[in-house]
Chain A
Amino acid sequence: MSNLSNEEKDIKNLQTPESNENNHEAEISLSDSAKVISPGRLVFRRFFRSKLSMIGLVTLFIMFAFSFLGPLFTHWGEVEVTGDFKWVTSVLPHQINVTEINPDTGEEEQVIYVFYEVSEPYKVYTKTPPSSTHILGTDQYGYDVLTRLMYGGRVSLMLGFIVIFAEVMIGLVLGAISGYFGGWVDQLIMRVVDIFNCLPGLPILMLAAALIDGWGVPARLRIFYLMGILTFFGWSGIARLVRGQILGIRELEYMLAAEATGLSTRRKIFKHIIPNVMPQIIVQATLGLGGVILSESTLSYLGIGVPFPYAAWGTMIGSTSGAEGRDILQNYPNIWVPAGVLIVLAVLAFNFIGDGLRDAFDPKMRR
């Protein structure tokens, strides 16, 4: 039904410029008056027309502002211990058995002395409920939750972008080589891709992340190793996509023309093939970004992602499974719910944008 109505609209749209033309006499030729819209701008227009992708874009902007500009406005640092605390003295009992002479009876007897080693009072930080100074309260280590959310966002977003960029680079090169040259190179690369595709995702990532522990990587550098791992086990999908696209493009007529003009292989690949594969890659990369963020937060949740003193959204949810897990799960939703909501929002935003891009690049899907 809507098919018909859309066509009607199209016909109307077509008629308007023509009718204008008739009014203004035939001095201006048709080609001057018709507005030429480049394919790029068409894509742009279609993208911005879709509500969901706009929602995604706005969410993403807010999220970037929140995590990169937010820390400028907060009073607390990422690893600054703050919030409510109580003074605690620890008492360690010691017990010694002594044989001594009882002054009353004059006989030897066993006496037990118990003495207590009392420490200097020290601060123990407790989970602060939300208040005006700590909008989302503090967590079990005395870190301000809102501030941690911002720094966690930095990690997730940055890591996502870098990993996807690296994945696209590797996938693009290997996929292009495989698709363009074919033959045994293709066979070799595709078998490797097959192997990587069949690796079970989470167990492999867990095993690899455990490796970083074993190497004793310092906490600050750990995140770079994490990026390496996520890239290493993630590029195969993009390589397969690129290869498939290139196999199709290779047979098209303009490639025959490029061949006939005597262009070099490099020029053919980088000037004529890659730009035509880009739309699919951009869509895939945007959708993949959400996946990378999910993988990172899953590893952090399991305690083998972003290391402890540094903040990550996954780690904050992970606090529901530790020693105090039940307590935090039950009584302190302010510690873990916001982190989860942010993960969902970030992944959702990337999915919306990716979807919007796909529809924008591929007008066939629109009715």
Chain B
Amino acid sequence: MIKYIIKRLALSILILFGVSIIIYGLVRIKPGLDFIEAKYYTQVQMDATGQVAEMVAEQRELYGLTSPVFLGYLKWLNNILHGQWGDSFIFSVNTGEVELLFDAEGNPILDADGIQLTKDVSSKNVIDIIASKSKISFIIALIATILQFAIAIPLGITSATKQYGIVDYSVTVLAMMGISLPSFFLGALLLRIFSIKLGWFPYSGLSDPNSGLPTLIDNLHHLVLPISVLVILSIGGLMRYTRTNMLEVLNADYIRTARAKGLSEHTVIYKHAFRNTLIPLVTIFAGILPGLFGGAMITETIFSIDGIGKAAYKAVTTGDIPFVMAYNLFLSLLTVIGTLLSDLMYVVVDPRVKLVGRKK
């Protein structure tokens, strides 16, 4: 078991290594203006003295944009191995710490009450930014995931026990619709109906100072639509998965035995069948993990929620290399860990499964 885990971890490192090469290559081989050039484009055009151009060249050097792609990658890799993930080009967050202010002579600056003035410490380090921005994304995803399981599993079971009935057909069609909906369309639709037309929910953001509601309620009120989008989009897959597995279990011999014993249908389904459908559900872990922490790029952008997804969208479009690298590697890491966890969970819940050095 331990040997297996070590082997898988070693493989994971190899995978992340490959992922990082691909992402770095994609970000760097893009021709045209890089981040600094784009930022100072108009200034360079307006400036006749060439000072700005010089400054831009210096900055590009500083940001590591001038080195050849391969050397740049090695440099980046070296920094990562030393635990330096670099500073984001565009984001900064307050770390929550404060810095005491001193004047030029080193005396503390005091306000009217004699308390020393402080300044919020902000950090541009990508790890700090990911940590701070993913909080809200995590809360949204967590609520969405819990709702998703709470709705999808009972529906999936009902659908399987009444196969080819009205409930089954409507659940199947609804589930398929959920899978087929693009997030941007569903988001726009919900905004149009529930926010603009009916005015039930706010249009964007996370809080509204004029709402007069307590902060928590206000935030939740803002989150209803984005969470609905996430739930509707992901519920279908889980529902169908539950249905398929339930059908498979219901075909098993021990279910026939249970029925033959004269047990009530309720006991058969919820005691004998349902527990066995939980085994394959465990594998869903692999899919949940990246979504739980990685945010939802499009949904967050549509609803203007300042989470990790929206930040990633902005970073990708502006060419913020350190952030893009860290974010994508973070997602890949979550995928790798998710896969490993679900394989291990499989062994834990199903004693018939044995780990043998290689994946199926």
Name A's B-contacting residues (CB within 8 A): 2-3, 52, 191-192, 194-195, 197-200, 202-204, 206-208, 210-211, 213-216, 244, 290, 294, 297-298, 301-302, 314, 317-318, 320-321, 329-330, 333, 336-337, 339-340, 343-344, 347-348, 351-352, 355, 365, 367
| Cross-chain contact B192 with A301 (CB below 8 angstroms) | no
The answer to whether B26 and A207 touch across the interface, beta carbons within 8 angstroms, is yes
Contact assessment for B31 and A215 in the assembled complex, using a CB-CB cutoff below 8 Å: yes
Contact with A203, one of B181, B184, B297, B336 (Cβ below 8 angstroms): B297
In angstroms, Cα B32 to Cα A215, docked, is: 8
Known pairs A191-B18, A194-B15, A199-B19; A352 contacts B189 (CB<8 A): no
Q: How far is the CB of B339 from chain A (nearest CB, A)?
A: 8
Residues of chain B with a CB closer than 8 A to A197's CB: 335
Query: Complex formed: what's the CA distance from A183 to B173 in Å?
Result: 44
Q: Is B294 part of the contact surface with A, judged by Cβ < 8 Å?
A: yes
User: Nearest chain-B residue to A298 (Cβ)?
Assistant: B182
Do A52 and B172 have beta carbons less than 8 Å apart?
yes
Tell whether B104 is near chain A: CB-to-CB under 8 Å: no
Q: In the assembled complex, which residues on chain B have CB atoms less than 8 Å from the CB atom of A195?
A: 15, 18-19, 22
CB distance from B320 to the nearest CB of A (A): 12
A348 touches B176 (CB 8 A): yes
B302 lies within 8 A of A321 (CB): yes
Cα separation A362 to B93 with both chains bound (whole Å): 54
Q: Is the CB of B180 within 8 A of A351?
A: yes
A207 touches B23 (CB 8 A): yes
Instruction: Say whether B316 contacts A198, CB under 8 Å.
Output: no
Contact of B316 among A207, A290, A333 (CB under 8 A): A207
Are A365 and B247 in contact (CB-based, < 8 A)?
yes
Question: Does B177 sit at the interface, judged by CB under 8 A?
Answer: yes
14 CB < 8 A contacts A-B: A194-B15, A199-B332, A204-B26, A206-B316, A207-B27, A208-B26, A211-B30, A214-B32, A216-B31, A301-B184, A314-B184, A329-B191, A329-B196, A365-B244
Contact A330:B247 (CB < 8 A) given known A191-B15, A203-B327: no
Residues in A whose Cβ lies below 8 Å from that of B192: 329-330, 333
- For the A-B complex with A2-B163, A294-B182, A314-B184 known, give 9 more contacts whose Cβ atoms are closer than 8 Å: A198-B15, A198-B16, A200-B331, A207-B26, A211-B29, A215-B31, A329-B196, A351-B176, A367-B251
Residues of B within 8 A of A297 (CB): 182
Inter-chain contact count A-B, CB under 8 Å?
Answer: 134
Interface majority SS on B: helix, strand, loop or mixed?
A: helix
Q: Contact between A317 and B188 (Cβ–Cβ < 8 Å)? A: yes
On chain B, which size bracket covers the interface?
Answer: 35 or more
Partner of A344, one of B181, B316, B360: B181
| Interface residue ranges of B178-215 to A (CB < 8 Å) | 179-185, 188-189, 191-192, 196
User: Which chain B positions have C-beta within 8 A of A317?
Assistant: 182, 184-185, 188
Are B191 and A352 in contact (CB-based, < 8 A)? no
**A-contacting residues, B311-347, CB 8 Å:** 312-313, 316-317, 324, 327-328, 331-332, 335-336
Task: Knowing A213-B32, A329-B196, A344-B185 are in contact, say whether A204-B23 is a contact too (CB < 8 A).
Answer: yes
Query: Is B290 positioned at the interface, with any CB of A under 8 Å from its CB?
Result: yes
Q: A203-B316, A317-B185 are in contact. Are A198 and B335 (CB under 8 A)?
A: yes
- CB of B353 closer than 8 Å to a CB of A: no
Cβ-defined partner of A351 (8 Å) among B31, B179, B191, B335: B179
Closest A residue to B256 by CB, please name it. Answer: A3
Chain B residue nearest to A355 (CB atoms) is B176
Nearest 5 A/B pairs, CB to CB: A340-B185, A347-B180, A195-B18, A200-B331, A214-B31
Partner of A202, one of B11, B18, B244, B297: B297
The reply on B298 being an interface residue by CB < 8 A is: yes
In the complex, A210→B302 CA distance in Å? 20
With A214-B32, A343-B182 known to touch, is A329 a contact of B188 (CB < 8 Å)? yes
Residues of A within 8 A of B336 (CB): 198
How far, in Å, is B244 (CB) from chain A's closest CB? 8
Query: For residue B319, which residue of chain A has the nearest CB?
Result: A210
Kindly list chain A residues whose C-beta atoms are within 8 Å of the C-beta of B172.
52
Q: Which residues of B contact A330 (CB under 8 A)?
A: 192, 196
Residue of B nearest to A291 (CB): B179
Question: Counting CB contacts under 8 A, is B14 at the interface?
Answer: yes
Q: Which chain B residues lie closer than 8 Å to A191 at the CB level?
A: 11, 14-15, 18
Asked if residues B316 and A244 are in contact (CB atoms below 8 Å), the reply is no
Q: Which of A52, A202, A367 contacts B173 (CB 8 A)?
A: A52
Residue of B nearest to A290 (CB): B180
B302: A residues at CB distance < 8 A: 321
Question: How far, in whole Å, are A336 and B182 apart by their CA atoms in the complex?
Answer: 13
A179 to chain B, nearest CB (A): 12
Neighbour of B177 across the interface among A206, A210, A344, A355, CB < 8 A: A344
Q: A329-B196, A343-B185 are in contact. Are A204 and B180 (CB under 8 A)?
A: no
